[in-house]
Amino acid sequence: MSVMPFLVMFVNASRENYDIQQGISLIPGNMLKENMQTLRDRQNFNVARGMWNSFQVAGLSTVLALYFSTLTAYGLVVYSFRLRKAAFTLIMATMMIPTQVSIVGFFTFMFRMGLTNTYWPLTIPAIASPTVVFFMRQYMLTALPLEMVEAARIDGSSEFNTFNRIALPLMKPALATQAIFIFIGSWNRLFEPTMLISSQDKYTMPMLVALLRSDRFRTDYGTVYLALSLTVLPLIVVYLLLSKHIIRGVALGGVKE
C-alpha cells in the first residue's frame, strides 16, 4: 500500500493527459519521451538547476539541524542544571506554533536584514529543530552511557571534544534516521520558499513543479507527474542509502530505561 502512490506517479509520468483523466492505471503508457520533451521545452523549468538549489537547501539544513539540535539534546541529557526540565518544555512548546502564524513576522525580519531571495532564511532556522532535539534526547537517554562522558572528562577531554569524538559516534543510527527525515522535509518545503524566494533561477524543485500547475485552464498532468517523479528520485536514493538505520534508530529513540 505504501508503494502504490509512487507506482501510480511513475506510471502516470508515461501517460498522456486524456488517459490520466480517465482514472488510475498501473499499465505504463507510451508518452514518456513526449512528456520529457515537453518538460525540456519549458523555459522556466530547469531540472539541473532546481535539483542543485534543492540540494543546497536540504543539505545545509540537514547538517545544521543534526549537529546543533543534537548538541542541544546532549546538553539536556549530560548537564544537570536548575531549569533543565523547563528548558526542554519550552523547546517542545515551540512545536505547537504553526509556520503560518509566524511567517509574516519572519519575512519582515528577513527583509529588513536583506536576506530575502537568499537561501539563508531557509537553512539557518534549521539550527533550532525541536523535533530533532526531542528524538535525540530520547535516544541519548538509552544509548549514551554517562560514565563514558565522566571518564572522558577525567582524562582531560574538553566538552566539545567529548561530544564530537564520543557522543556523536554512538548516535550514528539516530543521526542517520533524523538525516532522512530532515532532508525529506527540507526538500519538500514549498510554503516558506515561495514567500522568501523571488528569482526563478533560485527556485527549488517543488517551486518549479508548482509552476507547471499555474495554468488554471489547462494542466498537462503527464508532465506534472514526470516532474514529480524527478523530484522524488533523490529522496528515494537518500532513503535507500540510510534506510538500514531507521528501524534501529526509531526503536532505540522511543524507549527509555
- Burial of 211 from C-beta contacts in 10 A (0-12 / 13-18 / 19+): middle
**Residue range 145-178, pLDDT digits in tens:** 999 999 999 999 899 999 999 999 988 888 988 9
Rounded Cα gap, residues 182 and 70, in angstroms: 13
Rounded Cα gap, residues 183 and 26, in angstroms: 29
The sign of the CA dihedral 118, 120, 121, 123 is positive
Would you give the distance in Å from CA 197 to the centre of its chain? 18
CATH number of the CATH domain containing 76: 1.10.3720.10
Is a pLDDT exceeding 90 seen at residue 28? no
pLDDT of 257: 44
Rounded Cα gap, residues 102 and 26, in angstroms: 42
Q: What secondary structure letter does DSSP report for 2?
A: -
Return the minimum-mean-pLDDT range out of 19-23, 28-32, 213-217.
213-217
Domains of the chain: total: 1
* 210-216 long-range contacts, CB within 8 A, separation 24+: 211/44, 211/45, 212/42, 212/45
Q: pTM, whole model, 2 decimals?
A: 0.86
Tell me which residue range forms the domain holding 111: 4-253
φ/ψ of 3, rounded to 5, equals -85, -25
**Residue range 51-79, pLDDT digits in tens:** 999 999 999 999 999 999 999 999 999 99
Q: Is-contact 95 35, C-beta < 8 A?
A: no
Query: In the chain, where does DSSP find H-type helix?
Result: 4-12, 17-22, 32-41, 47-78, 84-93, 99-112, 120-123, 130-143, 146-154, 159-162, 168-170, 172-187, 191-196, 205-212, 221-242, 246-253
Rounded Cα gap, residues 224 and 220, in angstroms: 6
Maximal CA-CA distance, the chain: 72
Q: SS3 string of 11-60?
A: HHCCCCHHHHHHCCCCCCCCCHHHHHHHHHHCCCCCHHHHHHHHHHHHHH
The residue among 167, 170, 177 whose CA lies nearest residue 77 is 167
Tell me what percent of the residues of the chain surpass a pLDDT of 70: 93
Is a pLDDT exceeding 50 seen at residue 186? yes
Q: Which residues of 212-230 are buried (b: 16+ CB within 10 A; e: fewer)?
A: beeeeeeebbbbbbbbbbb
pLDDT of 232: 92
Q: Is-contact 137 203, C-beta < 8 A?
A: no
